[in-house]
Amino acid sequence: MVIALISAGGTSQRIKQDIPKQFIHIENKPLVIYTLEAFQKHPSIDSILVVCLDGWHEILSAYSKQFNITKLKYIISGGKTGHDSIYNGLRELNKHYKNDDTVIIHDGNRPMISQEILSEGLSTYKKHGSAVAAIPCTEVVFKCLNNNIPNEEIPRETIMRTQTPHIFNLGKLIWAYNKASENNTKYPAACSLLYSLGEKINFFKGSEKNIKITTIDDIDIFKALLNTQDNNYLKR
């Protein structure tokens, strides 16, 4: 079984809107539905769990029916942090699925996830046992002692920027998050937690289009991407 765990439990403090960003309508559709549609469409994905804000479960359920997200099987509450929300989702999946089932963890506010990225991620996972979307860094990067004073330049060719999806088997994820709970530690992403525990992380090619909606500027970029046709004449 292949299960998508979609994290959509954030309170969206940085975007400063009246409703959580995952429910903002873009061209007459909630942002999170764009994300769910990608997983609904992919033939290898069997079911979807969404970690959602309290008070928004019924709204999400109604939207999923409106937009025919038939693979959505579970909606559960998030935690205080992203780490807690993922852990909540994994514990729910652990009630229904086997340790060797595949879990795709993805940010609910990454609505431009493509079918190609999902397929490449699953292929990498089958070959290596883990898969994390990542893209090379193209900017000059400095490490700073404070917000404005650079202390060290980091060679950009040594840096990879991770995205979601992160793909692991359920048993390994439960083991890792249980370890973090025992050690009273929390991590910003599943890949960083697994890496901290000595697990090998295998990257596969993400995309600059696979943006994470965090600010109003990101929404503007998302709208532009929605209305941009592929340049088929360009080599990729």
Note the pLDDT tens digit of each residue in 18-29. Answer: 788 889 999 999
Average pLDDT, the chain: 92
Give me 167's structure tokens.
Answer: 């793909």
Residues in the chain: 236
Is domain 2-223 annotated with CATH 3.40.1280.10?
no
Q: What is the pLDDT of residue 233?
A: 45
Least confident of 119-128, 135-144, 147-156: 147-156
Query: Do 103 and 170 contact (CB within 8 A), yes or no?
Result: yes
Percentage of the chain surpassing pLDDT 90?
77
Reported confidence tier of residue 234, pLDDT bands at 50, 70, 90:
very low
What are the pLDDT digits (tens) for 95-131? Answer: 999 999 999 999 999 999 999 999 999 999 999 999 9
Give me 69's structure tokens.
Answer: 């997200």
Beta-bridged to residue 142, according to DSSP, are 153
Long-range contacts of 217-223 (CB under 8 A, 24+ apart): 219/21, 219/24, 219/26, 222/26, 222/31, 222/111, 222/112, 223/26, 223/27
Reported as type and span, the H/E element at residue 150 is: strand 150-154
